[in-house]
Chain A
Amino acid sequence: MPMSAQPPILSIENLAIGLTSGGVPTPIVSGADMTIGAGEAVGVVGESGSGKSLTALAIGGMLPAPLSVLSGRIVLDGTEITRLPEAAFHRVRGVKVGYVFQDPLNALNPTRTTGKHLIDVLRRHNHMSASEAYDKAVAALSSVGITQPDDRMRAYPHQLSGGMRQRVLIAMALVCNPRLLIADEPTTALDVTVQARIVDLFRGIRARGISIMFISHNLDLVLEFCDAVVVMYGGRIMEKGSAVEIGATPRHPYTRALMDCIPRLASRSRQLRVIPGQPPTVLGKLAGCPFAERCERALDVCRQRQPDMTVESPTHAFACWNPAPSPAVPS
C-alpha cells in the first residue's frame, strides 16, 4: 500500500456513532479510525451488525434517525464534514463521494430509464444542457463496461440483469467524478461469476485514481483486490492493516475466524469451520471486547476491559488482549 505524502482522501478519527437517549449518548460504533489514500482501495470487513455500513453512511451524512455522529471527525478531501448541515451534504454526496448499495433493484426507480437516472444526477450537480448530459451519461455507461450504451439508456431497471443494474449504479456513483467511491456489499446479491467481473470493474476504477471503500462480509473477496483491510466487529475496529498483513499474518482471533469460516475449494474437509454463536445485537453495553463471548482465545480480562490498539507495524494494528501468535501458521 503506497502511503504517499499526499493527504488522504478520507480520514476518520475516533468516530463514534449512536443515539442519545435522555441526554446519555449510547454509542453503537466507537473508536473508528481509518484513512483512505488517493487511489487506494480499502476493504471494510465484518458480519452483519459490525457497524461497517453505519460508518459508511456517516461519511455521506446519511445516518438514519435517531442515529447521529456522537464524537470524532470525518475529513473528506481536506474538508471536515462531520457535522455539516443537510443542505451542505448535497455538495458532498454524488460529487465528492459516490455510493453503491447492495441491492441494485431497490436502488433504482422502476419507472425511470437508465438514462433518466444518470441525466438526473448529472444535471442536479452541474450546469449542463440536456444533450451534454446525455452524452456524458452514455460515456459513463460505457466506462463501466456496458456495451451498446445508447440502447441501454432507454432500458428500464427490470429489463437489465442484476450485474448490469449494479453497473448502472456504479456509473451513477461515478458520473460526477467523485474522489471516493463507497460500495456497500455491492456483489452480495450477485452470482459468483458476475461478482468476479464486478470486482474486475472495481480494479479498473481504482486504476483511474478513484479511492474505494469496499464493504463486504467476505474477507477472501476483499483480499483479492484491496490495498488495505479494516476488520470490524460489534461497532469497533478489531484489526487493520495492508491486505498482505491481514491476509498472511492476521493477529486478531476474529480476523482468523472470519478467514477460517470461508468455504474453500482447496479444502477437502466436509465440516465447515464456523464462528460459534451470533453476532452481537446493536445496543449491548459491553465492558470488554465485543468478540470475547465467541472467541476461542478469550481470557478473563477480555470480558472486563476494552483492549487498546496494539501497533504491529506502521500499517498494521489490532485490538486484542491475547492475539494469535505471529507469524501466523498458514492453515
Chain B
Amino acid sequence: MTIFEAENVSKVFPVGQSMLRRLWSGPRGAKAVDSVTLDVREGEILGIIGESGSGKTTFGFLLANLMPITDGLIRYRARPLTEMTRTERAQFRRKVQMVFQDSSSALNPRRPVGKILRDSLRLGGTPARERDAAVAKLLTNVGLSPEHGRRYPHELSGGQRQRVGIARALAMKPEVIVADEPVSALDVSLQGQIINLLMRLQAELDLTIVLISHDIAVVRHVCHRVAVMYGGRLVEFGETSQVVEQPRHDYTKRLIAAVPRGLAGRKQAGEVSLAGAGDSG
C-alpha cells in the first residue's frame, strides 16, 4: 500500500524578487526541490539522504504539508494534499508528525516535558482524565521514566530530549513520522539508541517513517528503501542494499566513499593531497 505519492514535486524559494514581480511573472529563484517523483509505502522506513542544500529537508517539509509546493502533486492515501478540506487537513496534521534535528529548539524551554506531552495529547484527542497515564506511558515507551515529565528540556541530555521529541510525535497517534536528521546532533554512541528506538516503535506501532539523514551508514542499517537527493533532484532511488552495494550515480558513490572506515581508511603517504583540494569543501 502506498501512503504517499509525490509526482514531479518542485519547490522554489523566491530570491531577490519584489512582491509585485513575483505576482506578475510567477516565482523564480532557488529551486530547492526539483521535479522529485517518489512513493512512500505503508509500514516502511524510507531514507532520504543528501548533503546540506540537497533539498532533503525541504522535501520532508513538503511531505508533512508544512509549506506549499510550487509545482507537482503530493497525494496522501490517494488524496492530493492541495485538495484536502479543513477537516481532512486537521486530521492529516495529526497523522503525519515530524521529529526535528535540534531537540533543544523544537521543545518549549519554559514548559516541563510532561506539560509539553499533555498539550500534544490534548490536541490528539486524548480525554483529560487519561492524559496523566498517557504521559507516563509515552515516556516509558521512548525509554525515559515518568519522573522525567517534571523536568524542563534544558535539564535533559541531547539524547533524552530527542526521545521527548519522539514521544511528542507519538502522542498524536500518527501513521507517519518524518524524522529530519534526528541523530546528527548526537554523539555516535547515542545515535544507535535513538535509531533502534525508532525501529522498535515502527514495528510495534505499524508506523511509516521517513528518515532524513546525511549519513548513509545510518540509513544502511535502518531503511528499507533509500532516496538519494543532490541539488534538489532525486538522483537515485531503490532498495537500500542495492543502492549501497551497486550505486549507480556518481554522487551516491562519493557519499559511500566519504564514510570514515577506521584503520581500513588509512591512506599511504603518497596519496595525501596537500591542500585537500576542493572548493566546495
A186 and B234 alpha carbons, distance in the complex (Å): 29
Q: Measured between C-beta atoms, what is the minimum distance from B115 to chain A in Å?
A: 23
Q: Can you list 27 contacts pairing A with B, beta carbon distance less than 8 Å?
A: A47-B189, A145-B275, A145-B278, A145-B279, A162-B52, A163-B281, A191-B52, A192-B258, A195-B258, A196-B260, A201-B275, A217-B187, A218-B260, A220-B265, A223-B262, A224-B267, A243-B266, A244-B263, A262-B188, A265-B217, A265-B244, A267-B221, A272-B196, A274-B189, A274-B190, A274-B192, A278-B157
Q: Is the CB of A194 within 8 A of B217?
A: no
Q: Is the CB of B199 within 8 A of A271?
A: yes
A195 and B190 alpha carbons, distance in the complex (Å): 20
Residues of B within 8 A of A163 (CB): 280-281
From known contacts A193-B51, A225-B266, A258-B188, infer whether A270 and B159 are also in contact, taking CB-CB under 8 Å.
no
Q: Is B78 an interface residue (CB 8 A)?
A: no
Output the residue of B196, B215, B241, B281 with the most chain A CB within 10 A: B281
From known contacts A204-B272, A204-B274, infer whether A218 and B188 are also in contact, taking CB-CB under 8 Å.
yes
- Please classify how large the interface on chain A is, using the bins under 10, 10 to 19, 20 to 34, 35 or more: 35 or more
Q: Is A31 an interface residue (CB 8 A)?
A: no
A267 and B160 alpha carbons, distance in the complex (Å): 27
Q: Measured between C-beta atoms, what is the minimum distance from A203 to chain B in Å?
A: 5
A243 and B254 alpha carbons, distance in the complex (Å): 25
Q: Measured between C-beta atoms, what is the minimum distance from A197 to chain B in Å?
A: 4
From known contacts A244-B263, A265-B256, infer whether A203 and B187 are also in contact, taking CB-CB under 8 Å.
no
Q: Is B133 an interface residue (CB 8 A)?
A: no
Residues of A within 8 A of B (CB): 47-48, 142-147, 161-164, 167, 191-204, 207, 217-221, 223-225, 243-244, 247-248, 257-259, 261-265, 267-276, 278-279
Q: Which residue of A lies closest to B279 (CB)?
A: A147
Q: Is the CB of A220 within 8 A of B189?
A: no
A262 and B244 alpha carbons, distance in the complex (Å): 17
Residues of B within 8 A of A (CB): 51-52, 157-160, 187-193, 195-196, 199, 214-218, 220-222, 241, 244, 254-263, 265-267, 269, 272-281
Q: Is the CB of A145 within 8 A of B260?
A: no
**Cβ 8 A contact of B220, one of A198, A204, A263:** A263
Query: Total number of A-B contacts with CB less than 8 angstroms?
Result: 171
Q: Is the CB of A264 within 8 A of B189?
A: no
A161 and B280 alpha carbons, distance in the complex (Å): 7
Q: Measured between C-beta atoms, what is the minimum distance from A313 to chain B in Å?
A: 17
**Cβ 8 A contact of A259, one of B220, B241, B262, B280:** B262
Residues of A within 8 A of B276 (CB): 144-145, 197-204
Q: Which residue of A lies closest to B224 (CB)?
A: A270
Q: Is the CB of A221 within 8 A of B220?
A: no
Q: Is the CB of A203 within 8 A of B218?
A: no
Q: Which residue of B lies closest to A263 (CB)?
A: B217
Q: Is the CB of A272 within 8 A of B192?
A: yes
A262 and B260 alpha carbons, distance in the complex (Å): 10
Residues of A within 8 A of B218 (CB): 263, 272
Q: Apart from A272-B192, A272-B221, A278-B159, what are 8 other A-B pairs with CB-CB below 8 Å? A: A192-B215, A197-B276, A200-B277, A204-B272, A207-B272, A218-B188, A223-B262, A279-B187
Residues of A within 8 A of B278 (CB): 145, 197, 200
**Cβ 8 A contact of B221, one of A145, A199, A247, A263:** A263
Q: Which residue of A lies closest to B158 (CB)?
A: A48
**Cβ 8 A contact of A264, one of B52, B217, B257, B263:** B217
Residues of A within 8 A of B279 (CB): 145-147, 164
Residues of A within 8 A of B261 (CB): 220, 224
Residues of A within 8 A of B259 (CB): 192, 264-265
Q: Is the CB of A263 within 8 A of B192?
A: yes
Q: Is the CB of B277 within 8 A of A145?
A: yes
Residues of A within 8 A of B220 (CB): 263, 265, 267
Output the residue of B216, B256, B280 with the most chain A CB within 10 A: B280
Q: Is the CB of B188 within 8 A of A143?
A: no
Q: Measured between C-beta atoms, what is the minimum distance from A140 to chain B in Å?
A: 11
**Cβ 8 A contact of A220, one of B157, B160, B187, B262:** B262
